[in-house]
């Protein structure tokens, strides 16, 4: 991606690197803006790695005030977890679900879907404060399709699964009160179908209850993905979720670096380095190398996203998915355009350049927008990782603004010199340290 700007070589070179071409290598001093970009990029990577280390540091407990269980796993959303003991001789499952309230008048629910990993069809136990007494109550509900469509209030009714016993307590004992952040423990003993130990678990929480009818839960990405499936006999859920979480983080890191940083950096390289005569065709190879590297990393991240979608049936992120497909298609078109790049003297060259600019900048914009959308999908909208990315991106934008202003100043100065030369105020031999037009360059973008 390029831009027609005729700027003096010396001034622009000084902005980019503070070094004379004849100076020895030991005297090279990078410009502060380049140092800032490098430091911001390293800071961004550090924050992501730190987040990677803490993502798996969440723990679960097999012990409560009244029971001890054999196994436990941390669930992927809402800081929830499950502890359980499975008795193979009679196919009985004892479990405790740990969840947190998000409102003093809210609700917390856990359930089992006998057929599929989705909310519809779940047999749930929901805990909330009794509207009359304020005490914690636990009632059974069946989430049929009408609940998802909000056609009617959710009413409590007996479950059609073999529920032997159930209860709920607040963490902290009898003196505990329901408040925002309060932890609730939902106990259940369920008789499972023999030889069927892979269970679909569904959990969620809401802001308030109307009478004894829990209202709809929030619809953020985390709330919509509060579903998991694991084998209560082997306890394979923790490994499966660690794999999903690892893929999610790798997907986010690769795409933030490729679509969100490298691709814009490649565009900036073409826009501002192509007019530096001292570089010759080097700017083109740098530009192509950065963009091809970005597309390669972005393709890997895109493939991981497709894989995660296949591993999470019923969980969809419509806007993030559509933006991802659009950015990938535009990136693929840009890469293929290199194979059909006409020579500088070809009559279709100007049309190819217009296409190259439009598709390239569109890809950059979609990539950056989708990176921010990805932070929201991952529930990292207020995280330090997002802050680090914003710092890197704002540094790059600041460099672009500085170079753009410098280019306009030089362009206006050169235009004034040309006007004075035409009027005869200065001789034709009095030339500034300008550079030739892009049409005289050996390689063009």
Q: Which of 164, 184, 156 is nearest to 96 (CA)?
A: 184
**What is the C-alpha separation between 362 and 358, in angstroms, rounded?**
6
List the one residue out of 84, 81, 99 whose CA is nearest residue 228: 81
User: Is 241 annotated to bind ligand?
Assistant: no
Nearest to 156 by CA among 115, 105, 109: 109
Is residue 251 annotated as involved in ligand binding? yes
Residue 250's alpha-carbon distances to 150, 166, 319, in angstroms, are 37, 39, 20
Q: Element (H or E) spanning 24, and its range?
A: none
Beta bridge partners of 202: 111, 227
Query: Which CA distances in Å does 286 have to 106, 249, 279, 290, 424?
Result: 56, 28, 10, 6, 41
For residue 204, list its beta bridge partners.
Answer: 109
Q: Which of 133, 80, 134, 75 is nearest to 108 (CA)?
A: 80
Structure tokens that stand for 123 in this block: 């047999």
Q: Is 356 annotated as a binding residue?
A: yes
CA angle 369, 371, 372 (to 5 degrees): 70
**Which residues belong to the annotated binding site?**
251, 287, 320, 356
**Which residues belong to the annotated binding site for heme b?**
251, 287, 320, 356
């Amino acid at each position: 991606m390029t831009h027609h700007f005729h700027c003096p070589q010396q001034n622009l070179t000084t902005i980019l690197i503070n070094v004379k071409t004849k100076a020895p290598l030991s005297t090279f001093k990078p410009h502060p803006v380049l140092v800032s970009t490098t430091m911001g990029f390293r800071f961004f990577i550090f924050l992501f790695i730190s987040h990677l280390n803490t993502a798996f540091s969440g723990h679960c407990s097999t012990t409560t005030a009244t029971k001890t269980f054999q196994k436990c796993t941390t669930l992927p959303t809402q800081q929830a977890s499950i502890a359980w003991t499975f008795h193979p001789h009679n196919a009985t499952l004892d479990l405790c679900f740990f969840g947190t309230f998000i409102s003093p008048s809210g609700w917390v629910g856990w359930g089992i879907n006998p057929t599929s990993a989705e909310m519809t069809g779940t047999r749930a136990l929901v805990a909330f404060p009794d509207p009359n007494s304020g005490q914690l109550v636990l009632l059974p509900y069946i989430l049929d399709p009408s609940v998802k469509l909000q056609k009617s209030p959710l009413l409590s009714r007996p479950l059609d699964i073999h529920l032997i016993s159930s209860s709920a307590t607040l963490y902290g004992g009898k003196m505990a009160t329901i408040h925002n952040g309060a932890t609730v423990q939902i106990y259940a003993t369920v008789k499972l179908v023999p030889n069927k130990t892979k269970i679909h678990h569904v959990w969620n929480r809401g802001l308030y209850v109307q009478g004894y009818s829990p209202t709809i839960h929030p619809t953020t990405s985390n709330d919509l993905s509060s579903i998991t499936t694991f084998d209560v006999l082997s306890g394979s859920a923790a490994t499966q979720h660690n794999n999903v979480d690892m893929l999610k983080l790798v997907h986010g890191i690769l795409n933030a670096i490729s679509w969100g940083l490298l691709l814009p950096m490649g565009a900036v390289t073409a826009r501002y380095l192509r007019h530096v005569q001292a570089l010759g065709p080097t700017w083109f190879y740098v530009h192509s190398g950065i963009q091809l590297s970005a597309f390669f990393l972005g393709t890997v991240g895109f493939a991981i996203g497709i894989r995660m979608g296949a591993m999470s049936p019923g969980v969809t992120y419509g806007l993030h998915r559509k933006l991802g497909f659009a950015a990938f298609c535009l990136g693929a078109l840009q890469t293929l355009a290199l194979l059909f790049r006409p020579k500088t003297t070809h009559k279709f060259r100007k049309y190819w350049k217009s296409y190259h600019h439009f598709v390239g900048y569109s890809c950059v914009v979609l990539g950056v927008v989708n990176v921010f959308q990805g932070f929201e999908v991952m529930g990292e909208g207020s995280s330090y990782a997002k802050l680090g990315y914003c710092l890197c991106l704002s540094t790059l934008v600041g460099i672009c603004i500085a170079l753009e202003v410098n280019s306009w100043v030089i362009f206006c100065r050169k235009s004034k010199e040309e006007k004075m030369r035409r009027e005869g105020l200065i001789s034709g031999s009095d030339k500034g340290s300008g550079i030739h037009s892009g049409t005289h360059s050996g390689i063009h973008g």
